[in-house]
């Protein structure tokens, strides 16, 4: 079998069978071989059981998106074979446990079975070592090495590194399982499966999932407090921060619920700490009243909403982009806010830092949107990125009484840009009032209609004042292409790769990608929309929420909307195929 420059490995099984651990092992091996990878996962909302699968896209070139096919499937149970049978490419390879698989699998491809079958007694090999099935997965990965023609040296080195702290016996038993499985395939199969993938020469990179990128970016931004209540898929962000809390002087508090979490976060920020909370749509729904508290007290706040399928509990472990309109209008009344939607690992890392700066500079809440697909996918983070490119900016902070220029401190002073000088509680010689009611410049409750208008106008000015910090959307590809794919957030790289596929069909296309969602910088964005010839918006929701925003704010109506809301991310091949069949 010959492939040009990439293939996809999938590992399928039930929760508890070590699917995720196997994926992590293989990804490390791929990187050590000098190849690039992109890893995405799919699993049900069950504590135990249910079908789990890890996909590892391996390439000699950088890749940032999932694809629809499987080249090599390691099936840890019969269900995995049934589910992914039709996803296998012609002349692909199915690796399975020959003693526990119900289906009849043939060694060589046929009209009925387009792929090779390699059956190995994984559990029997493992039980022969220590009467336990714990080394079956080790044997399965060894079989993959034979199929791919990879040396076992790197795999064995990784085993020694991973398990040396446990015991030498565990290391030796794993090595034994590797050797036995490899020997079994060598003795029983004469078919040469070896893939002729281009030799790996990847530039040094880190492999990082979206949750890690957000957490590390927050640490770099100087976060000192975080509170959250567990909710998929936001929990890993909190877990990473809690894991490194002692290293970076962070207070990490698992709250009793989402209301407590955001109230604690608002309080920590009010006291002067950079503070962060996170949840998914259901938890964010509980947070919205306190979001308004941040708005009226002009307290900086950063909130991450990791989207999943709704409404209500919906699809707890599947992806969607359906909270956009919700976060734009969350909480009663009107107040300024910023909404960001990073599209890859670098944007996740950098934009959370921008979020903290914007929150401090303009004293308002900033909402960062990610989703299950982006939060849990493992992608490349280049080592040559300047991780110190963004400096911490806390905005206007009064540090002593002499700085206020008068005898009394007006916390909510009317200013030209809407931003009042901020003092932290406890600043020597300065006292002030704050509350959730409307107030005057000194924080004293006021229901005077003239003051109300002035205070509302003061706060809302911020949305205009911060526009210089909002960059224009990025254009990828020929700026004057005949077709523009409009993406936002996590659809970025699926669209970019779809453009490359369309080029092979003589369709010139580009991508207009939005990461800074609200407020729009209309002056910078309108010219980019005006030169579009044909357009299609690509988004993971049922109602075309971002397309509606383009109509509302720019009077721009995309000709087509490619919408997907089945819980899965977009695939480049899927996008290019639909566009080719419906628009050309």
pLDDT at 497: 97
390 within domain boundaries:
no
Q: What single DSSP character describes residue 233?
A: T
End-to-end Cα separation, the chain, in angstroms:
33
Kindly state whether residues 373 and 267 are assigned to the same domain: yes
- Domain assignment of residue 202, yes or no: no
Domain assignment present for residue 197? The answer is: no
Strand order in the sheet with 338-340: 251-254, 225-228, 275-279, 301-307, 365-371, 338-340, 516-518
Q: Where are the beta strands (DSSP E) in 308-364?
A: 338-340
pLDDT of 2 reads 41
| Residue that finishes a domain, picked among 405, 433, 467 | 467
DSSP per-residue codes, 102-136: -S---SS--SS--SEEEEE-HHHHHHHHHSSGGGH
**412: which 2 tokens?**
């909510």
Bigger pLDDT: 49 vs 392: 392
Instruction: List CB contacts of 22: < 8 A, sequence separation 6 or more.
Output: 11, 54, 74, 137, 140, 141
Q: Are 244 and 299 within one domain?
A: yes
State mean pLDDT over 442-449: 97
**Number of compact structural domains in the chain:** 4
Average pLDDT over residues 138-146: 96
349 shares a domain with 401:
no
Describe the chain by its helix, strand, coil percentages, rounded to 5: 40, 20, 40
Q: Residue 14: is its pLDDT beyond 50?
A: yes
Q: Residue 488: which CATH number?
A: 3.40.50.920
Same domain, 165 and 48: yes
Q: Are residues 356 and 281 in the same domain?
A: yes
Q: What does pLDDT average to over the chain?
A: 95
Q: What is the pLDDT of residue 202?
A: 83
Look at residue 8 and tell me whether its pLDDT is greater than 70: yes
The answer to whether residue 83 sits within a structural domain is yes
pLDDT at 583: 83
- CA atoms of 235 and 462, how far apart (whole Å): 31
Whether residue 387 is contained in a domain is answered as no
**Same domain, residue pair 39 and 171:** yes
The percentage of residues in the chain with a pLDDT greater than 90, rounded to a whole number, is 90
Residue 199, domain member (yes or no): no
According to the model, what pLDDT value does residue 46 have? 83
The reply to whether 116 and 234 lie within a common domain is no
Rounded to the nearest 10 degrees, the angle between the axes of helix 19-32 and helix 153-163 is 120
C-alpha torsion angle, residues 361, 367, 373, 374 (rounded to 10): 0
402 & 517 share domain: no
| Banded model confidence at residue 1, pLDDT cuts 50, 70, 90 | very low
What pLDDT, in 10s, does the model give residues 207-230? 999 999 999 999 999 999 999 999
| Residue 139's CATH number | 3.40.920.10
Confidence (pTM): 0.95
Same domain, 115 and 225: no
| pLDDT at residue 166, rounded to an integer | 87
Read off the pLDDT band of 201 (50, 70, 90).
Answer: confident
Which domain-ending residue is among 433, 467, 501?
A: 467
Which of 168, 99, 103, 175 lies closest to 139 in space, CA to CA? Answer: 175
Mind listing the pLDDT tens digit for each residue in 378-422? 999 999 999 999 999 999 999 988 888 788 999 999 999 999 999
Distance from CA of residue 380 to its chain's centroid?
A: 12
Q: Is the pLDDT of residue 4 over 70?
A: no
pLDDT of residue 37: 96
Check whether residue 213 and residue 331 sit in a common domain.
yes
Q: Domain end: 467, 492, 520, which one?
A: 467
- Per-residue pLDDT at 405: 79
| Pick from 163, 167, 74, 180: nearest CA to 127 | 180
Between 118-127, 188-197, 263-272, the lowest mean confidence (pLDDT) is in 188-197
Rounded to 5 degrees, φ, ψ at 556 are -110, 125
* Residue 147 covered by a domain: yes
Range(s) of the domain holding residue 401: 397-467
483-488 sheet: strands from edge to edge: 474-477, 509-514, 483-488, 534-539, 560-563
Same domain, 479 and 463: no
Q: Are 92 and 71 a contacting pair, CB within 8 Å?
A: yes
pLDDT, mean of residues 60-81 = 95
**Confidence band for 197, pLDDT divided at 50, 70 and 90:** low
C-alpha to C-alpha distance for 106 and 112, rounded to whole angstroms: 10
pLDDT value at 40 more than 50: yes
**Do 251 and 132 have their domain in common?**
no
Q: Which residues contact residue 486 at a Cβ distance below 8 angstroms, ignoring those fewer than 6 apart?
A: 511, 512, 513, 514, 535, 536, 537, 538, 546, 547, 550, 558
The reply to whether 360 falls in a domain is yes
Alpha helix positions (H), 244-344: 245-248, 258-270, 281-297, 324-329
Write out the two tokens for 332.
């009663």
pLDDT of residue 194: 62
Please name the residues in contact with 265: beta carbons below 8 A apart, sequence gap of 6 or more. 225, 226, 227, 275, 276, 277, 301, 303
């Amino acid at each position: 079998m010959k492939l040009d420059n990439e293939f996809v490995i999938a590992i399928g099984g039930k929760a508890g069978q070590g699917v995720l651990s196997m994926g992590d092992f293989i990804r490390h091996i791929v990187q050590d071989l000098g190849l690039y990878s992109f890893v995405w996962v799919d699993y049900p909302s069950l504590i135990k059981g249910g079908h789990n699968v890890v996909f590892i896209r391996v390439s000699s070139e950088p890749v940032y998106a999932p694809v629809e096919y499987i080249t090599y499937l390691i099936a840890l149970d019969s269900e995995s074979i049934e589910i992914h049978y039709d996803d296998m490419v012609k002349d692909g390879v199915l690796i399975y446990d020959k003693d526990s698989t119900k289906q009849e699998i043939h060694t060589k491809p046929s009209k009925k079975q387009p792929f090779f079958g390699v059956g190995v007694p994984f559990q029997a090999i493992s039980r022969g070592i220590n009467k336990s099935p714990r080394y079956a997965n080790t044997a399965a990965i060894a079989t993959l090495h034979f199929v791919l023609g990879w040396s076992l040296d790197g795999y064995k080195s990784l085993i020694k590194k991973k398990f040396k702290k446990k015991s030498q016996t565990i290391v030796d038993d794993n090595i034994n399982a590797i050797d036995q499985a490899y020997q079994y395939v060598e003795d029983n199969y004469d078919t040469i499966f070896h893939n002729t993938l281009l030799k790996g020469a990847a530039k040094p990179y880190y492999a990082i999932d979206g949750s890690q990128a957000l957490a590390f970016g927050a640490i770099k931004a100087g976060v000192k407090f975080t509170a959250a209540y567990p909710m998929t898929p936001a929990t890993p962000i909190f877990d990473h921060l809690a894991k490194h809390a002692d290293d970076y002087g962070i207070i990490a508090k698992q709250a009793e619920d989402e209301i407590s979490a955001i109230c604690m976060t608002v309080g920590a920020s009010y006291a002067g700490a950079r503070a962060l909370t996170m949840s998914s749509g259901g938890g964010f729904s509980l947070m919205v009243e306190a979001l308004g508290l941040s708005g009226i007290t002009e307290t900086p706040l950063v909130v991450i909403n990791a989207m999943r399928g709704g409404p209500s509990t919906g699809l707890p472990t599947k992806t969607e982009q359906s909270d956009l309109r919700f976060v734009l209008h969350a909480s009663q009344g009107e107040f300024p806010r910023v909404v960001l939607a990073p599209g890859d690992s670098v944007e996740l890392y950098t934009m959370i830092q921008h979020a903290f700066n914007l929150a401090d500079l303009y004293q308002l809440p900033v909402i960062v949107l990610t989703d299950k697909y982006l939060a849990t996918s493992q992608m490349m983070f280049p080592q040559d990125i300047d991780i110190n490119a963004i400096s911490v900016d806390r905005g206007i902070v009064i540090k002593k009484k002499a700085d206020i220029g008068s005898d009394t401190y007006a916390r909510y002073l009317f200013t030209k840009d809407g931003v009042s000088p901020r003092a932290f509680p406890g600043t020597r010689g300065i006292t002030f009032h704050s509350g959730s009611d409307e107030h005057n410049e000194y924080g004293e409750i006021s229901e005077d209609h003239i003051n109300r208008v002035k205070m509302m106008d003061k706060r809302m000015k911020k949305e205009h004042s911060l526009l210089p910090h909002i960059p224009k959307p990025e254009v990828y590809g020929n700026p004057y292409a005949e077709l523009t794919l409009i993406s936002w957030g996590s659809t970025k790289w699926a669209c970019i790769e779809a453009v490359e596929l369309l080029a092979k069909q003589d369709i010139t296309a580009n991508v207009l990608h939005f990461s800074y969602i609200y407020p729009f910088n209309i002056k910078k964005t309108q010219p980019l929309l005006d030169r579009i010839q044909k357009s299609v918006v690509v988004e993971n929701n049922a109602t075309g929420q971002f397309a509606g925003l383009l109509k509302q704010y720019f009077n721009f109506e995309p000709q087509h909307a490619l919408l997907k809301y089945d819980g899965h991310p977009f695939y480049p091949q899927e996008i290019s195929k639909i566009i080719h069949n419906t628009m050309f």
